[in-house]
Amino acid sequence: MRKVRVSLYYRNQLDKAGTAPLLIAVNHASSSCYIPITGVRLKPNQWDKVRKRVINHPQADTINSVALTNLAKANEAVMQLGNVRGMTTAKVRDLIADHITPPEDADTRVMAVLRQYQDNCSRPNSADKFKQTDTHITRWLGAKGVRLLQFSDITPDWLHDFDKYLTSYCPSVNSRSIHLRNIRTIFNYALNHQLTTAPYPFRQYRIKSAPSTPTALTLEQMCQLWHYTPPNEVQNYALDIFKLIFALIGINMADLCQLQGISQGRINYTRQKTGRVYSVKVESVAKRLIEAHRGEKNLVDILQHYKSIHVATAQINKHLKDIASDLGLPPITTYTARYTWATLALSIDTPIEVISQALGHSYGMAVTLGYIVPDRRKVDEANRKVLALVVQ
């Protein structure tokens, strides 16, 4: 990683009045660029090169305070930039300058910043979650309230009231915490980019969370569910998606929605949540389900039925819970397929390291694993055996 260094610099190139600007020097990749400290010009005898301080000036204390503040912001920007390999020094300088003094036309209202952040999300599922937070805030405050919402309005009491409002739509503590964490992310983003100086409410307000309680079905329950014929089309579709998730070793809904195709009998994808690369052999039962629900743009047609991954997951989980209730089973979600696959694999003595590999979990020494090319044949065999237990 190439380092960026910033420092106060007085360039002794005098204008007609005998003054020169006070600058912040940005040193990167063996070159330098400069950011002027707005409104500050000094005579040579007003700058102490050794201590890097303004002297002999009627406003020396004020200028020194401004200069040190800008330098601190510049150092903060350097820390946030991270790896700048490949960036020109001018580009680095511009990014630091934007951090020190945001563009004058920057919209610093909460929803404008939220939407800007959402547009910059690299993962569709992350953008979708921020869009859902946007929807909830808009529904709660109304169009006028949203337009006027400033970061200074977000206080611990505001967060408490928003959490209370969310209970009507998100009964689960953990589902509500997603939206509260999104607001915290936006607040941190605004602070880091000098878009607000509002007091930080999350020092007093703690976002609640509850331990997850994964439910895995027994073999008998899974067989009962697999061979059930739902009474209507929407429940039948939800059950087919559940079966496909199970047949693809518990693939996440966000990844299932985005699959593009089958290559040499396998589905290869990078999991959005972790960035891990997965490769799953498409067994005959999975192939039949894919053919029944093949999409026009994506491999599976989920996003042709629902407007977003979030909505699809919520609706399919609702129908799955209705099915489970009709069958006298515990409540289930799409994630139950993942837990159940792992539990059934363990029940037939599948080595734990194979299950870990199938689910994309780390197992053993991370350094050692870096030298090993994964053998997917053991995972393929485990999946065939688990499916054979259920699909009879």
Q: Which residues of 280-313 are buried (b: 16+ CB within 10 A; e: fewer)?
A: bbbbebbeebbeebebeebbbbbbeebebbbebb
Report strand pairing: 53-54 vs 47-48: antiparallel
pLDDT in tens, 20-58: 889 999 998 888 888 888 778 899 999 998 899 999 988
Determine the Cα–Cα distance for residues 86 and 1; give it in Å rounded to an integer. 10
pLDDT in tens, 53-69: 999 988 888 888 888 98
Q: What is the pTM of this model?
A: 0.58
pLDDT in tens, 346-389: 999 888 888 888 887 655 444 334 444 456 788 889 899 999 98
Query: What is the architecture of the domain spanning 219-390?
Result: Orthogonal Bundle (1.10)
Measured CA angle at 365 (ends 361, 370), to 5 deg? 80
Query: What is the architecture of the domain spanning 110-203?
Result: Orthogonal Bundle (1.10)
Pairwise pLDDT comparison (202 vs 198), residue with the higher score: 202
Nearest to 206 by CA among 227, 181, 226: 181
Q: Which residues have a Cβ under 8 Å from the Cβ of 268 and sit 6 or more positions away?
A: 277, 278, 279
Contact yes or no for 379/249 (Cβ under 8 A): yes
The confidence score (pLDDT) of residue 274 equals 73
The residue whose two tokens read 């004020």 is 62
Q: Which two tokens stand for residue 4?
A: 């960026």
**124-148 helix and 309-327 helix, angle to the nearest 10 degrees:** 110
Amino acid making up residue 185: T
The confidence score (pLDDT) of residue 104 equals 59
Q: What is the SS3 assignment for the chain?
A: CCCCEEEEEECCCCCCCCCEEEEEEEEECCEEEEEEEEEEEECHHHEECCCCEECCCCCHHHHHHHHHHHHHHHHHHHHHHCCCCCCCHHHHHHHHHHHHCCCCCCCCCHHHHHHHHHHCCCCHHHHHHHHHHHHHHHHHHHHHHHHHCCHHHCCHHHHHHHHHHHCCCCCCHHHHHHHHHHHHHHHHHHHHCCCCCCCCHHHCCCCCCCCCCCCCCCHHHHHHHHCCCCCCHHHHHHHHHHHHHHHCCCCCHHHHHHCCCCECCEEEEECCCCCCEEEEECCHHHHHHHHHCECCCCCECHHHHCCCHHHHHHHHHHHHHHHHHHHCCCCCCHHHHHHHHHHHHHHCCCCHHHHHHHHCCCCCCHHHHCCCCCCHHHHHHHHHHHHHHHCC
pLDDT at 310 over 50: yes
Measured CA angle at 277 (ends 276, 281), to 5 deg? 135
pLDDT in tens, 215-257: 889 999 999 999 999 999 999 999 999 999 999 999 999 899 9
Contact yes or no for 292/240 (Cβ under 8 A): yes
Domain residue ranges of the chain, discontinuous segments joined by +: 5-100, 110-203, 219-390
Instruction: List phi, psi (to 5°) of 294.
Output: -70, 135
The confidence score (pLDDT) of residue 366 equals 46
